[in-house]
Amino acid sequence: MNPEEFKTELAKHNIELSDEQMQQFATYYEMLVATNEHVNLTTIVDRNEVYLKHFFDSITPAFYADELRTEELTLCDVGAGAGFPSIPLKIAFPNLRVTIIDSLNKRINFLDELVTKLGLDHVQLHHARAEEFGGKKSTYREQFDLATARAVARMSVLAELCLPLVKVGGKMIALKASQAKNEISDGKSAITTLGGKLLSDDEFNLPVSNDPRNMVILEKVKATPKQYPRKAGTPNKKPIGSNNN
């Protein structure tokens, strides 16, 4: 997917990018590839692949959550890595107020330079573990309209990392490659325990490559119990509802 195809494909979903926004994506690509030579940000460096599997893929939540397009929402991106999905969403929808957390400082440093270069406002960057950032003593706990995560962990683990950050009435959006139905089934106990409810699970395919994708959206229907999230590393080792929990 070259940049022009990227723009055309988004227009099919009523997302119109200006010349300035297209230039921001071009700069993003250049910085990503240049930095990737000495900091491990992505295994995908081919321009057409980046535009499809990073940029386009990151904007797909707006196909299923219309409020991203127009509302001044607070969005927390958990484990954003090189900024996916939150930075492409922010470029496409400047109305969003983005907070990014990542556990690797090198990635945060890259994002700091990127945000400055792209001239993005209302973007906060935090070098932190999600378990601490959403902990019971954190000022960020249950403060966000949305939490997003892309290819970070299975649903039972993601729910514990993301739902404590979402305010009641807000949403968690998980961008999954496939097998989401099994993950949702396995994660039902965790989702309910943490105050969430499955709102939708949509299967679709990326254009060009036809790669399968799932967009899983949870609604936060009640406050997360204070004992969650558990200490760093525990959600992954002992997911809520698992036999070894």
Average pLDDT over residues 171-196: 88
Q: Residue 243 — very low, low, confident or very high, per pLDDT cuts 50/70/90? A: low
Average pLDDT, the chain: 94
- Between the two ends of the chain, the Cα-to-Cα distance in Å is 44
> Measured between alpha carbons, how far is 95 from 146 in angstroms, rounded to an integer?
13
Q: Name the binding residues for S-adenosyl-L-methionine.
A: 79, 84, 130-131, 150
Structure tokens at 162: 């993301």
- Which CATH superfamily is 3-229 part of? Vaccinia Virus protein VP39 (3.40.50.150)
Task: Evaluate if residue 212 carries a pLDDT over 80.
Answer: yes
pLDDT at res. 219: 98
User: Which pLDDT belongs to residue 154?
Assistant: 86
**Residue 35 burial (CB < 10 Å; 0-12/13-18/19+)?**
buried
Q: Which of 12-26, 78-92, 154-168, 176-190 has the lowest mean pLDDT?
A: 176-190
pLDDT in tens, 213-239: 999 999 999 999 999 999 998 998 999
Query: How sure is the predictor about 152, in pLDDT bands with cuts at 50, 70 and 90?
Result: low
Please, which pLDDT band fits residue 187 given cuts at 50, 70 and 90? confident
Judged against a pLDDT cut of 80, whether residue 100 lies above it is answered with yes
Cβ contacts of 207 within 8 Å, gap of 6 or more: 1, 5, 9, 52, 56
Mean pLDDT of 115-124: 98
Q: Which of residues 141 and 177 earns the better pLDDT score?
A: 141
pLDDT at residue 234, as a whole number: 93
Which residues line the annotated binding site? Answer: 79, 84, 130-131, 150
Contacts of 235 (CB under 8 A, 6+ apart): 131, 153, 156, 157, 160, 161, 229
Domain boundaries, the chain: 3-229
The CA angle 34-40-45, to the nearest 5 degrees, is: 50
pLDDT, average across residues 168-183: 87
Task: State yes or no: pLDDT of 245 exceeds 50.
Answer: no
**Mean pLDDT confidence for 104-113:** 95
